[in-house]
């Protein structure tokens, strides 16, 4: 599935919110400072559920709110590593995101970004790009593209 230095691609079924959160927890085990994880999919697909699973596995004790209105929620207290949970749903122009300082945050933080496609393709070529979509059986399907820095870290045995 992975060729050294190339992007790995794959898919798996998400049977429900628990499975979606478990994928987030699996990402948390492998997450490092400087990583970008993007979450794409329609409204209600499970992007925030996956992000909540990731944050809980990193040590967040309360339920993470959706960052739809604040756009960025920074988590650094009590977590294994600092994470910014970002929701770009309300961003209409990619230039608006420059003011958020996302690239600068990567010096000492990992980014989990919902609706990253609003910034255009290729923004973070080494990101773990996740997409949640409806599956023909009525469930959900997670597809991914994992950049070279995720080699040996993704996909986990789920």
The answer to whether residues 21 and 56 touch, using CB atoms and an 8 Å cutoff, is yes
Measured CA to CA, the distance from residue 108 to residue 122 in angstroms comes to 22
pLDDT of residue 139: 85
- Walk along the chain (158 residues) and give the pLDDT tens digit of each residue: 434 455 778 999 998 899 999 999 999 999 999 999 999 999 999 999 999 999 999 999 988 888 878 899 999 888 999 999 999 998 888 888 888 999 999 999 999 999 998 887 778 889 999 999 988 888 899 999 998 899 889 888 76
pLDDT of residue 6: 58
Instruction: Give rounded-to-5 percent helix, strand, coil for the chain.
Output: 30, 25, 45
pLDDT of residue 3: 42
What pTM was estimated for this model as a whole?
A: 0.91
């Amino acid at each position: 599935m992975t060729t050294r230095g190339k992007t790995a691609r794959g898919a798996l079924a998400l049977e429900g919110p628990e499975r979606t959160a478990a994928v987030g927890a699996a990402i948390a085990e492998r997450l490092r400072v400087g990583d970008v994880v993007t979450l794409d999919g329609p409204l209600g697909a499970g992007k925030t559920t996956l992000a909540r699973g990731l944050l809980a596995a990193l040590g967040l004790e309360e339920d993470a709110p959706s960052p739809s209105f604040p756009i960025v929620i920074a988590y650094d207290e009590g977590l294994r590593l600092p994470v910014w949970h970002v929701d770009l749903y309300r961003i209409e122009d990619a230039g608006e995101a420059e003011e958020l300082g996302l690239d600068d945050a990567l010096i000492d933080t990992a980014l989990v970004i919902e609706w990253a496609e609003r910034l255009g393709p290729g923004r973070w070529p080494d990101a773990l790009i996740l997409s949640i979509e409806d599956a023909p059986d009525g469930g959900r399907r997670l597809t991914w593209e994992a950049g070279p820095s995720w080699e040996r870290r993704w996909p986990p045995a789920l």
